[in-house]
Amino acid sequence: MKGEQREEQGLGPEPAAPPQPTEEEEALIEFYRSYRDLFQFFCTTTTIHGAIRLVCSQHNRMKTAFWAVLWLCAFGMMYWQFGQLFGEYFSYPVSLNINLNCDKLVFPAVTICNLNPYRYTQIKEELEELDRITEQTLYDLYKYNSSNTLGAHPRGRRDLWETWPHPLQRLAVPAPPSRARAARSTASIVRDNNPQVNWKDWKIGFQLCNQNKSDCFYQTYSSGVDAVREWYRFHYINIVSCLGDTSPSPGEDMLDNFIFACRFNQAPCNQA
C-alpha cells in the first residue's frame, strides 16, 4: 500500500519552471547609463579623424594620451578659426582705394567783345537825374513819395522845366485833333493791360513841339502808369540818341562792367 502511494505521488504533474529573463524592449529615446558609454559611442560612430583611436587604444595609455592631445589641439584650432571668421564678419571691414590722377589742363583763351556802342558810364549822371525828376514828378502829380525825402525840399515846376524840356504835367484839354492824328493818338495811347481811370484824368501827359514851337502835339494818356512809363522811355531814348558811336580806348578797363567773376580750375582768370 505504501509503495503504491509512493508511485502515485511520483506520477503526479511536475512543478512549473521559473520564467527566464526577457530582453528589455528598445525605447524610442534612450539615455546612456554612463558618460563612458556615451563617449565610446561617439568615438565609434563619428567621422572625426582620430576619435576612434581614443577607444581602440585603451590598453596603451601612451598612445591614448597622444591621440587625446592631438584631438584637443585640432578642436582648439577649429574653434579659433571660427572665432576669427565671425569676428571679421561682424566688424564689417571696408577697404577703399582712391587713385587721384592730376593732369595739366591747358587754360582756355576766351575773347569777349561788347557790341553795345553805348557805355553806361557816359550816361550814368543823366539817368540818375532822370530818376530824381521822375520821383519829383510822381510826388507833384499824385503825392507819391518813393524815397521819403521829397516832401522836405520839393522842387518847383519851373526847375523841372529848366532841367528837362518836356516835363510830365497836367495839360489843358487841347482842341480836337484831325482824324488822322486822332486815330494815331488813340492807337498808340490806350493800353488794355493797365487799369483805366476817370475821364477827367485824360489830361496827364506832356507836350511835344518843334524848335520854333509852331507845331505842338499833346501826348496824353488815360492812366498815370502809362504816362510815366512813356515819358520815362521818351527821355531815355533822347539821352541815348545824343551819344555818339564811340569805341573804348585800348587801355580802358571794360571787363569789369559786364563780367562779375571768372574762374577756371579754381584759378582766377587774368586779362592777358
- Between CA 265 and CA 272 the distance in angstroms is 17
Question: Could you state, in order of their start, the residue ranges of all structural domains in the chain?
Answer: 29-92, 120-244
Query: What tens digit of pLDDT does each residue of 226-269 get?
Result: 888 888 888 888 888 877 665 555 545 566 767 778 888 777 87
Q: Which helix (H) or strand (E) holds 170?
A: strand 169-170
pLDDT of residue 192: 40
Mean pLDDT of 61-80: 86
Percent of the chain with pLDDT over 70: 59
- Return the bridge partners of 58, or none: none
Q: Are strands 204-209 and 169-170 parallel, antiparallel or unpaired?
A: antiparallel
- The shares of helix, strand and coil residues in the chain, as percent rounded to the nearest 5, are 45, 5, 50
| DSSP reduced 3-state for 147 | coil
Number of other CB atoms surrounding residue 253 within 10 Å: 8
Query: What tens digit of pLDDT does each residue of 82-91 get?
Result: 999 998 888 8
Residue type, 210: N
| Region of residue 143 (phi > 0: left; psi between -120 and 50: alpha; otherwise: beta) | left
What does the angle CA 184 – CA 188 – CA 190 come to, to the nearest 5 degrees? 115
Residue type, 128: E
What does the angle CA 213 – CA 216 – CA 220 come to, to the nearest 5 degrees? 140
What does the angle CA 231 – CA 235 – CA 149 come to, to the nearest 5 degrees? 75
pLDDT of residue 227: 82
pLDDT of residue 80: 95
| DSSP reduced 3-state for 267 | strand
- Between CA 92 and CA 51 the distance in angstroms is 37
Does position 123 have pLDDT exceeding 60, yes or no? Answer: yes
Confidence band of 77 (pLDDT split at 50, 70, 90) = very high
Cell numbers describing residue 157 = 515846376
